[in-house]
Amino acid sequence: MDIISSELWSPYVVGAAIGILVWIGFIFSNKAIGCSTAYARTAGMGERLVRGDKVEDKPYYKEFVPKIDWEWMLVLGVVIGAFISSTLSGSFRIETVPRIWQESFGSSAILRYVGALIGGSLLGFGARMAGGCTSGHGISGTSQLSLGSWLAFIFFFIGGILTAVILYGGF
């Protein structure tokens, strides 16, 4: 079956199908698809292991209680869904240093891991400050015509484009 093994589908088909997933989330769960609060909750769960229930005194964790919720399960599902997709298409492989990174920074896996850790920290911090990520603001929020989500979506890309040009643009 071509459709199962084809590694890349049309972006229009993929996008429309993601839009339909947004409908499904709304209809059956009364929820908007998003990913970044799951990271905040998990960070709180990690802190609780170290510091105990005092963690819940932090004002931020009063709002985003460190527990497994709908969105947390969604992010877990994303890992598994991508695993299933890449296994079926045959694109699953252990990747340490992606090509474009290598062109700018060389083939050191350690350097890439440190970079990923720093990039991830900025994403985690920025997403919580902005109140969402590329999914929560960029797809679900924009679909609801939320003013703040459109603003966030635009600034995600302004920051991303400028930084990518500096890092990988060959200057």
Residues of this chain, 59-118, that bind another protein according to CB under 8 A: 59-61, 64, 68-86, 89, 91-101, 109, 112-113, 115-118
- Residue 103 CB, nearest distance to another protein (Å)? 10
Q: How far is the CB of 166 from another protein (least distance, A)?
A: 8
Site for another protein in 152-171 (CB under 8 A): 152, 154-165, 167-169
Considering the rule CB under 8 A, would residue 142 count as an interface residue with another protein?
Answer: yes
Residue of 1, 8, 49, 171 interacting with another protein (CB under 8 A): 8
Note every long-range contact of 69-75, with CB atoms under 8 Å and residues 24 or more positions apart, other chains counting.
Answer: 69/37, 69/38, 69/41, 70/29, 70/31, 71/31, 71/34, 71/35, 71/37, 71/38, 72/38, 72/41, 72/42, 74/33, 74/34, 74/35, 74/38, 75/35, 75/38, 75/39
Q: List the one residue out of 82, 47, 81, 79 whose CA is nearest residue 65.
A: 47
Among 54, 106, 107, 119, binds another protein (CB under 8 A): 119
Phi and psi at 8, nearest 5°, equal -120, 130
11-70 binders of another protein (CB under 8 A)? 11-33, 35-36, 38-40, 42-44, 46-47, 58-61, 64, 68-70
Q: How far is the CB of 109 from another protein (least distance, A)?
A: 8
